[in-house]
Amino acid sequence: MRTLKYAILGLVNRKSMTGYDISKEFGEELINFWSAKHSQIYPELKKLVDEGLLEYKIEITGDVLEKKVYTVTEKGRQDFLEWLAKDEKIEPTPKDQFRLRSYFSQALEPAIYQKLLESQLDQRKKKLAKLNRLFLQYQQVPPFGSDKFGDYSVLAGARIREEANIKWLELCLEAVRAEIKE
Amino acid sequence: MRTLKYAILGLVNRKSMTGYDISKEFGEELINFWSAKHSQIYPELKKLVDEGLLEYKIEITGDVLEKKVYTVTEKGRQDFLEWLAKDEKIEPTPKDQFRLRSYFSQALEPAIYQKLLESQLDQRKKKLAKLNRLFLQYQQVPPFGSDKFGDYSVLAGARIREEANIKWLELCLEAVRAEIKE
DNA sequence: ACAAAACATGTAATTTCAAACATGTTTTGT
DNA sequence: ACAAAACATGTTTGAAATTACATGTTTTGT
């Protein structure tokens, strides 16, 4: 489906950027729903240029360091917009290694499974706290159409998702603790 | 990390099965947190036999149809149990194509984005209804240690996750509807 | 008797992705 | 003056995963 293609096109459509910039973006808000290493990004950029969806011009930083600053072509913008408006079927449930462990947990000592759950819960709570800190910057919902709406929306989604993870872990913990007490 | 290896080992540890059976399992409860196509399963089974973690005996169905019924070896069981008890870091957030679209949604007509959201919401609600129907069979939480606890736990988790997806979509919809009304 | 669905097992080609390899420049802090 | 961190761009290797290719048997429903 070449989703990375559209992620890149979407980013460059908002603002001209280098491969390095794109790589950094994948480490920030985008981490909540997409990511790619630079070893995947650079070849994809080359491909997009070959396909006429992106162009670049070289800028010099300092004395000699070359930066390739990418811009979308009209063709690229059209391709992106077409993808963006597509009404797709919901994706299959994402894989989750800890849930796989949970599925097999009856093969484990309850006390061990409890430890695993507590460790997960601790990490999830820290992650949620981080998301909550980021969320503070929004006093209210930014209007749709402002460049902040997307950021807000996916951040709100990440919080809700993390809250659900925590809710589930707490439900499991309760069941295991009830078992141990008996 | 070879998670498929442990998914297969875990399944076969519970009960001897064929590659075809494993394939079917990935289409049922397991779909909520893991899956694999038969083209990935058969080579993995071969590898696990080579590594001495699984054994099989051939059974004949009808006149000539050969079935390979797999069983875990003691070594395989140990390997699985070791993996199962491992306390791991939470995984990076799963990729989500619709959230990527949402992130770029300001490039879209509000009415179009609204349609996309409504479509997602509709599909998510249907999925939740299905999970709820499955959930009915549990009058109460099965005791940990019973073979039903794992099933219950991941099903409960899938419901909670789906509820969160819906909550997020409704939040987005509300914001977009507010925009359109103005 | 026949067809369709389900059972059953594999391989080949391609895509996606992460980790490691590879090389250098520029800025910032001390 | 020096070192570390950040900037900047690539390639190579291999694992994980999907799609398509490939072939056949058995059961079920009509």
For residues A128 and A159, the answer to whether their CB atoms sit within 8 Å is yes
* Residue type present at position B62: G
User: Each residue of A56-73: pLDDT tens digit?
Assistant: 999 999 999 999 999 999
Q: How far is CA B156 from CA A5, A46, A136, B88, in A?
A: 35, 45, 31, 22
- Cα A131 to Cα B45: distance, rounded to the nearest angstrom: 41
For residues A176 and A114, the answer to whether their CB atoms sit within 8 Å is yes
Look at residue B181 and tell me whether its pLDDT is greater than 90: no
CATH class of B3-84: mainly alpha
Can you count the helices (H) and strands (E) in chain A? 7, 2
* Residue B7 contacts A where some CB pair is shorter than 8 Å: yes
d(CA A66, C1' D8) / Å: 7
Kindly list the domain boundaries of chain A, sorted by start residue.
3-84, 97-181
Query: Within the 59-78 window of chain A, which residues sit less than 8 Å (CB to CB) from chain B?
Result: none
Cβ neighbours of residue B11 under 8 Å, at least 6 residues apart?
A: B17, B22, B25
User: Each residue of B86-120: pLDDT tens digit?
Assistant: 999 999 999 999 999 999 999 999 999 999 999 99
* Residue A42 contacts B where some CB pair is shorter than 8 Å: no
User: Each residue of A1-26: pLDDT tens digit?
Assistant: 999 999 999 999 999 999 999 999 99
pLDDT of residue A163: 98
Shortest Cα–Cα distance, B52 to chain A (Å): 21
Q: How far is CA B101 from CA A81, A112, A115, B105, B107, in A?
A: 10, 40, 38, 6, 10
Q: Is the CB of B64 under 7 A from strand D?
A: yes
User: Each residue of B136-173: pLDDT tens digit?
Assistant: 999 999 999 898 999 999 999 999 999 999 999 999 99
